[in-house]
Amino acid sequence: MRHSIVASLALATWLLAGATPAAATEAPAQEYSVATFGLRGGFDSNPMNYLGGPSSGFINQSATWDYLRGSDKEGYAIAIATNNTVYESREVDPATALGITFRHATSLADNLLLRSSISAVHEQTWSRRNDQLLWRERIDYDIGQWRLFTSVDTKVTTLNERNIFALGSFLPYPESFVTLSVLPGILYRLSFGEIGVSLTASRNIFRFETDYLGLRRNNDRFQPNLFASATFFGMRVEGSLSYARVTFPARDFDDLQRLLYTAKASIPLDMFRLPIDKLTLELSSARTLEDTTLPFSVINVSTLSDAKLVAKLNTNNTLAVFARRKNDEYVGLGARAVTTTLGAEYSYAFDGGLTAILAGSWRYTQETGNVPVSSFNVQLGLSKRIEFTRTAATTAAPQATAAAPTATR
């Protein structure tokens, strides 16, 4: 089964998704260029998460670069990210995540905006190889407090996962497919947030008519969606609720109907009046449909829930504790993988953008047909943040002015 690395998932999500600005006013022209570099070393008692798996030391290298120029209605953004983990054990393959995104916003009229984005992502772990190329075009039309929008996506995916029919190795050739989708919607802006509805219709067309078992995987997806976001009493909340229906024209797989959702909240806990600078509770949960190449399964219904308590003790010291649970249900295969993680991270910020990090976590992995496994991870590292250029009419940090739309709005 698949064992995704959290950093890889976060990278892919960040690059393929964007932010829809809640404000209707145009931000001032600005230029912003920031790079971060990180190096961590540590030990993982079982990075492959199976009984008898090897323990290993590791080194993790990461780097990002974000460049923004322009405003909400006229501008472009470039984002580049890389994350690479090399293990001391020869039995564990390196884990790599690479990505690049280009976004551009063009004002066609005072109330008509065109947003374009192109993204490329590569992810590889010991059990999964995934490459995606996404081209997205979106048009926003504002009428007072209302916004009409439509986006059209073309995505090319190449996916390969370790498989029992390949004797536990990768398939001799990956599954490649094209996803064509359209997403029309409407939202209404309120003084404290926004609310809206959208509808996603997509078709997945595989390169080969049948897979390695002779099954036809082409499928169509239909997903109405309700979304909202709000800020009140210092809290920021946002979420969406949708009903997804997946049909397989060839009838080689059963049709799927599932309720999906996203939820996120950032709650300041200043009311406790603790002797620290800031205390924040961050909560998130999402149930989404992911693709898989496992036998007799096309879709993985993935549910990820996360809770984090962040205590900014003072200007330099920050402590975070977190709990995370990921549930992967491989529809049609009758298999499930559940990973529960508990951990803490302490960071100390030096002058000049340098930060030292000490982190540790414990995780418990349960998979259908396998003995549950518990393992731990400890790491120590440094990160460096460099601002190359920054010019703006205000001192506030710029928003993602040329961001692509999210999957629901």
Q: pLDDT tens digit string along 222-266?
A: 999 999 999 988 899 999 999 999 999 999 999 999 999 999 999
Give the separation between CA 218 and CA 193, rounded to whole angstroms: 38
Other beta carbons within 10 angstroms of residue 334's beta carbon come to: 11
Residue 366 has pLDDT above 90, yes or no: yes
pTM, entire model: 0.86
Q: How many alpha carbons lie under 13 Å from residue 36 in its C-beta half-sphere? A: 14
Q: What is the mean pLDDT of residues 199-227?
A: 97
Q: Which of 240, 246, 225, 249 is nearest to 292 (CA)?
A: 246
Phi/psi for 399 (5° steps) reads -85, 170
- Burial grade of 273 (CB within 10 A; 0-12, 13-18, 19 or more): exposed
- For every residue of 267-335, DSSP letters joined together read EE-GGG--SSSEEEEEEEEEEEEEE--STT-SEEEEEEEEEEEEEE-SSSEEEEEEEEEEEEEETTTTE
Which of these CATH numbers, 3.40.960, 1.10.155, 1.10.600, 2.40.160, describes 6-391? 2.40.160
Give the separation between CA 142 and CA 83, rounded to whole angstroms: 39
Contact indicator for 329, 247 with CB cutoff of 8 Å? no
Domain positions in the chain are 6-391
Residue-level pLDDT at 76:
94
Place of tokens 């490649």: 176
Residues near 361 by Cβ (< 8 Å), separated by ≥ 6? 341, 342, 343, 344, 376, 377
pLDDT digits (tens, 9 = 90+) for 279-305: 999 999 999 999 999 999 999 999 999
Q: What angle is formed at CA 58 by the lines to CA 366 and CA 81, rounded to 5 degrees?
A: 90
Give the separation between CA 29 and CA 392, rounded to whole angstroms: 6
